[in-house]
Structure formats: C-alpha cells, structure tokens
Amino acid sequence: MTPEADETGTTDAPTQTFADLGLDGPILRSLKAVGYETPSAIQAETIPLLLSGRDVVGLAQTGTGKTAAFALPILARLDKSQKAPQALVLAPTRELALQVCEAFERYASDLKGVHVLPVYGGQGYGVQLSALRRGVHVVVGTPGRIMDHLDKGTLDLSELKYLVLDEADEMLKMGFAEDVETILASTPDDKQVALFSATMPAQIRRLSQRYLDDPAEITVKRKTTTSSTITQRYLIVSYQQKMDALTRLLEVENFEAMIVFTRTKNDTESVAERLRARGLAAAAISGDVAQAQRERTIKQLKDGKLDILVATDVAARGLDVDRISHVVNFDIPIDTESYVHRVGRTGRAGRTGDAISFITPRERRLLTAIEKATRQPLTEMHWPSADEVNATRLARFDDSITAALEQADRISRFRDIIAHYVEHHDVPEADVAAALAVVAQGETPLLLDPADEPKRQSFAPDRRSRDDRGDDARGGGRDDRRGDRRSSEGFTAYRIEVGKRHKVEPRQIVGALANEGGFSRGDFGKITILPEFSLVELPSTLPPSALERLRGTRISGRLIEIKPDSGGRSRDGGSRGGRYGDRDRGRRDDRGPRKPRRY
C-alpha cells in the first residue's frame, strides 16, 4: 500500500521532531541553526526509509521540503574518510543543482570535512576538476555535464552508495532520458536510489521498475493554502540590496506591527541590530531565546512598545498578535509549508494583512512553487523610489508639526523665544522655523536625493500570456524575411550564431538558454531563425550576470556567441564574415538538452 501524507502536516504524530526520525548529533544542530523544528510530510515519511537503506519513489512538488528528505539521510551516513564520491544527485537545471548544493552545505554546517560539489554546464572545467582531484563526498549536477565527466574519465562513480533523481519528470521532458539511464547503468548495482517527481508518467514508472529495488512510494497531497484576506507581493532584489529594500519598505508601507523572517538565528540578530541603528523599535527572537525572554518580547509587541520582530520559523510558530499587519520574508523559505506558516502570522480571524517576499533572481523557482502550492498569484511590487520615500517623510513631518501645534502652552512659550530672536537678529520668522527644523533633524537629511538613486533592475518572470507575446518561443516568426528588427515591448533582441543551416529549432534555443541562463518560459519573446544566425528576444532588464552565464553555451555543437543585435545582416540573412564551421562540435551538456521541451 502506498503511504500518503498531507503536506499541511496532518500526521499521527503532529509533534514529531527530526530526532524521532532517527537523526542525531551534528545533523540536528545544523537543522536547529537553519530554523527547522518539525519535519514536513515528505520528510517524515521518507527519512526513516532512506536511513534504513530502502529505495524510495517520492511524488512531491517543488517546495514540499523534499531536498532535506534525501539530503539529511545521505549526510547522516557519509564516510568522510572516503575521497571518491559517495552520493550523486541529478537535477534538470543548473539553477536547481545550485539550490540543492547550497541546501547540502547548510545541513552539513555542523559536520566538519564534508565536501559538496556542484557540476553543471557553463561553469569552467578547471574548478570542477580541481575539486574532484581533492576529493568530494557529494556531487550535485545536471545530466549533460555529469555525462561529460564520465566520457572524460574525470568522475569516478565506482564507490557510489547513494543516487538521487530530483525532479525526474522535468529531466525527461528536457530530453535527458538517455543520459539518465546511461548514468544509472554506470553506477554500482548495490547503491541506494531515491527518485522524486511531481508526476508519475509511464516513462518514470519504467525507470523506477528497471533501476530501483522494491522502492517504497510516498505521495504528498497538496492542501496548503493561504488566507484570501492576505495581500501577497514580492520584490526582486539581490542579496546585497535586501537591507536597503527593507528600510525603504518600512518608510513607505503603512504598517502597525511587522514580523521579518530570516533563515538563521544569526541573521535575526544582525537585521534587528541594523534596524535599531536606524531608530526603529526592533527585537530578535530565535529558537535559542529562553522562553521567558520570548514571552517578554511578544508582550512588548502586543503592547505597542515594539513594532518589528525579526524571527526564525521556529520562534514564530504559534505566534498570534492582533497588531501584526505585515509579514516580510527577508529570506524566502525553501519549502511552501514554511511560507504558509509565516504568512499566517497576519490576516488572522478575518483581518486583512500584507505579506512581502524578497526574491533573488536565483530564487524564482521558489516563487513559482509557492504560487502553485497556495493557488494564489503573488504580485510583483516595484522598488520604493526616492520620491515615494520623500513623500512619506514629508507627510510624517507635517503630522509632527500638526501634533506640536496642538500643544498650546508649549507653542506660546516658544513664540516668545522666536520673537526675541527675530527682534535681535533681523531674521524672517520662516527662516528661524527652518533653522529649528534643521536642529531637530540632526545630521541625517530629511529627504533623499533622487539624483543619487541607484539604478534598480527587475528581472522577474514575464507574466503575460503566451498569446499576448505574439510570435514567440513557440516557434512563430522563424522565417521572418521582412527585415523588421524591432523588438517587442519590454524585450531586447539578442543574436546567436546558430541558424537554419545548423538545423536548429526554437525548442532547442529555449531549452539551452533556459538551462544555462536560469530563464523561465515567460522570459522569451519572439525567436527568429535565419540561415546563418538567429534572433532571440530576452527581457530588456536582463542583468549582465545573466548574459555572462550564457557565454559558453553551445547549440547543435556551436558556441552561440550571444550579443545584443546590432541590426546588420546580409541579403540572405546570413552573418557577414561568418567564421565558424560545422566542425566546431561540443559535448552533450554544452549543446543543451537533446530533446528540449516544446513551448
């Protein structure tokens, strides 16, 4: 019988802990530092099975906590004295591979000497080869680059003990089926295998039957949702910009009390301290805070003596304070269950609330997972401008003047002082009032200078429907001979050096660029394929770092040489002075997926 678990955490043991699952020592300490208190449904069902050595098939969406479900048992059983890789995790995209690698590193923070290596296309071989020579315990990679290393003989899987297929259905959709089977066949027969997939199509079922040994099947049902009274928004922001973004939000948002969620206890203290330095009433709580101190802090929040609470997931569980009008995810949680718990701290008992999440460009997958899990779209918000901040500051300044004018006795006494000053210094009263405002304000300017405003780039998914984009990544406009090189609104045309004579199709372009650059479907506009080269529309807000990631990408064995389109071409649509021949053939991962998904 297939065990079924409810993602909302409804189990026979609602107070179950990670220690109850068989984990102990450094692993538990790392989880406490990360802020994990109780396991999610997929973790509760999967971890004991993997610790016992059983093969597992897990049917779970991104955001259910499945990374910890396979990473924790692997870390618990690693032999740190062995130099050859003991665990291999296959992921469909470089973005997911990096996320999984970062999760392993967080969970191993209290395990000394554990080495985890991400392996993906677009990254130089030198870094990967050096790490492999030194010895790594866990390799997380995309199928194409793993195959590349196997072909070169630079990756030894002969002592592999654990193999994980993460988002297996996505890997097969992207054309990695043959690579995955080749990799599975190249590993020891006695390894333990865990396969995770959002769906169970026939191809995944055949893969499971062929390469897994009597696997246990775990299914996670989606019942997670958030209250309709909560307005959910997100802001695309780099990690370095988060504190600046939070400060500006606090100025322009009309909030009564707020919880700011961070991922670790160290970050709670750091963020709270920086807020206090800006004159804000903020305090931090985490799982390490004594219960008495926690109760005092929450009472201050309830009584209005504290306006901002910076907390981890553990510290905020069960927190119910009427004043909380806003929740800010300073660090977006890596599982949707935590997101729902966080957002649930506001908008309670029918009240309205606001939830704002800071999303770095690499975390867009988590945003998509949250929207799918909660069945509610999040609205992108723009970076608060200097003009908006200044308008808020002036309004508050006006309010403070109005409040002061209501204190008739004090105003009367200061009138005499002002009159005395005007009489003896021959200065207009308005200038004296302005001078007093300067004295009251101190060294910090009241208003921001718009001229000093740094340029902010939003690199969010394009949320328009595919029909609104005209001839786009579906393949429309492939043979546009009219010479119209104008880009669609919000997009910029980029030239890549592959075309019709290289037998390239739009789906190959989308697959390769999405895999190497971390793009979503909405990031592609019109694709025009010409005899010698192609034009691809990408967001006009594309940051330089995203373009840099595509420099080494190959399609049909050719370097794409991506660059902004200058508009020049010969009569036949070919590139002037084309200098690459069909002999320039690359390896599998550099060419992108063999059978990319159709868009």
Q: Map out the domains of the chain as residue ranges.
A: 4-221, 230-385, 387-452, 466-591
The whole-number average pLDDT for the span 122-143 is: 89
Compute the distance between CA of residue 497 and CA of residue 550 in angstroms, rounded to an integer.
Answer: 13
Instruction: State residue 5 phi and psi, 5-degree precision.
Output: -125, 145
Angstrom distance (rounded) from CA 494 to CA 481 = 17
Q: For residues 105 and 572, what is the distance between their CA atoms, to the nearest angstrom?
A: 52
Give the pLDDT confidence of 162-183 residue by residue, as tens digits. 999 998 988 888 788 888 999 9
- 55: confidence class by pLDDT, cuts 50, 70, 90: very high
Q: For 261-278, what is the mean pLDDT? A: 88
Three-state SS across 376-414? Answer: CCCEECCCCCHHHHHHHHHHHHHHHHHHHHCCHHHHHHH
In eight-state DSSP terms, residue 70 is: H
pLDDT at 512 over 60: yes
Element of type H or E holding 299: helix 291-303
CATH architecture of 230-385: 3-Layer(aba) Sandwich (3.40)
Cα–Cα distance, 348 to 389 (Å, whole number): 29
Which pLDDT tens digit goes with each residue over 279-322? Answer: 889 999 887 777 678 778 888 998 899 999 999 876 776 677 87
Residue with tokens 């799918």: 372
Residue 505 pLDDT: 82
The Cα–Cα gap between 334 and 489 comes to: 33
Asked if residue 502 has pLDDT above 90, the reply is no
* Same fold? 4-221, 230-385: yes
Does residue 596 carry a pLDDT above 60?
no
Q: Rounded CA gap, 63 and 50, in Å?
A: 20
CA angle, residues 578, 583, 585, in degrees to nearest 5: 105
CB within 8 Å of 286: residues ≥ 6 apart: 35, 265, 268, 269, 311, 312, 314, 315
Q: Which residue has the higher pLDDT, 555 or 281?
A: 281
Is 466-591 a domain of CATH 3.30.70.330? yes
The DSSP H or E segment spanning 510 is helix 506-517
pLDDT class for 58, splitting at 50, 70, 90?
very high
The residue-averaged pLDDT of 508-537 equals: 80
The pLDDT of residue 355 is 93
* % of the chain surpassing 70 pLDDT: 77
Token pair in block for residue 153: 């003989």
- Rounded Cα gap, residues 291 and 297, in angstroms: 10
Burial 326-360 (b: 16+ CB within 10 A, else e): bbbbbbbbbbbbbbbbbbbbbbeeeeebbbbbbbb
- Mean pLDDT value of segment 550-578: 66
Domain 4-221 has CATH 3.40.50.2300: no
pLDDT-wise least confident of 379-383, 425-429, 555-559, 571-575: 571-575
